[in-house]
Amino acid sequence: MRCSFTTENSMSTIVNSGWRIGLIITISMALAVTGAFLLRKPVLHIDVPGARILSPPVRVPPFSLLDQKGQLFSNERLAGNWTLATVGFTYCPDICPTTLSEMSAVFKKMETVSGAFKMPRFVFFSVDPFRDTPEVLEKYLAYFRRDFIGVTGAPEAIQSFANELGLHYVYSDPEDGQLVDGVLQKPAIEDYAVIHATSVVFITPTGEMVATMAPPFKTDEVVSVFEKLRTHYGN
């Protein structure tokens, strides 16, 4: 009798503790899920026309180019600060000087509100290395802002860098709009035009392209997009 009681009792203990363990596991899992939900990075929404968040971000590929002083410009030069960048060419009479003027207004504005953050850098990647030598870029960029960086390099290096970032370009004959095949040789046409991407891209201090923005570049909109990106991804 006693024995059977003991057995019954221990049985109920086992059943009881099994139920408790199950409950503990269920609660822990629920807490873990809730915790993960609460701690996860909120999805970034930017409500500015023309601005696009890249999800997932695009890692800037290894590259080796030249700045306007003729010095090596490679991935290390993008480290530590945010980078705003665009592609273009100095022979461009309309879009490129417009974008550069707009970006110089953006940087001027950023200086007045930058108290809390490090100023980003601006890089103009030439996609016309046959005409845009470092010397040409140096004079051209300084006109818009002393600290703007101009980058050129070997046609192959520019092509692979631009393509990896989705900043496409092609040469054309301005007379009839005919496209020139390939970008590795200087087109035989005099005064050839360059059809090129017009976005400004945002690259984190760790070398990830996280957003793009299309023209026109209104000062307040670019500053607001940058502030949101910087707050979300960190300085």
Partner 1 sequence: MKRILGLLAIILFCPLLVTSSLAGDITVTDPWVREAPPGAKATAAYMTISNTSSRTVQLDSAASADFGMIEMHRTEMHDGMAHMKKQTGIRIEAGKNVQLKPGDFHLMLMQPHRSLKAGDQCALQLRFDNGESIAVQALVRKQ
Binding site for partner 1 (CB under 8 A): 90-95, 97-98, 100-101, 131, 135-137, 139-140, 142-144, 168-169, 172, 174-177, 191, 193, 195-199, 214-216
Strand ranges, E, within 16-102: 51-59, 64-67, 72-74, 83-88
CB crowding 168-204: b at 16 or more within 10 Å, else e? ebebbbeeeeeebeebeeebeeeebbbebbbbbbbbb
Alpha carbon distance 232, 82 (integer Å) = 13
- For partner 1, give the closer residue by CB, 202 or 230: 202
- For partner 1, give the closer residue by CB, 53 or 95: 95
- For partner 1, give the closer residue by CB, 47 or 176: 176
- For partner 1, give the closer residue by CB, 76 or 94: 94
- For partner 1, give the closer residue by CB, 50 or 205: 50
Q: How far is the CB of 42 from partner 1 (least distance, A)?
A: 28
Q: How far is the CB of 147 from partner 1 (least distance, A)?
A: 16
Q: How far is the CB of 53 from partner 1 (least distance, A)?
A: 16
Q: Is the dihedral of CA 57, 155, 193, 106 positive or negative?
A: positive
Q: How far is the CB of 227 from partner 1 (least distance, A)?
A: 24
Give first-to-last CA distance, the chain, whole Å. 74
Q: How far is the CB of 214 from partner 1 (least distance, A)?
A: 6
Count of residues for the chain? Answer: 235
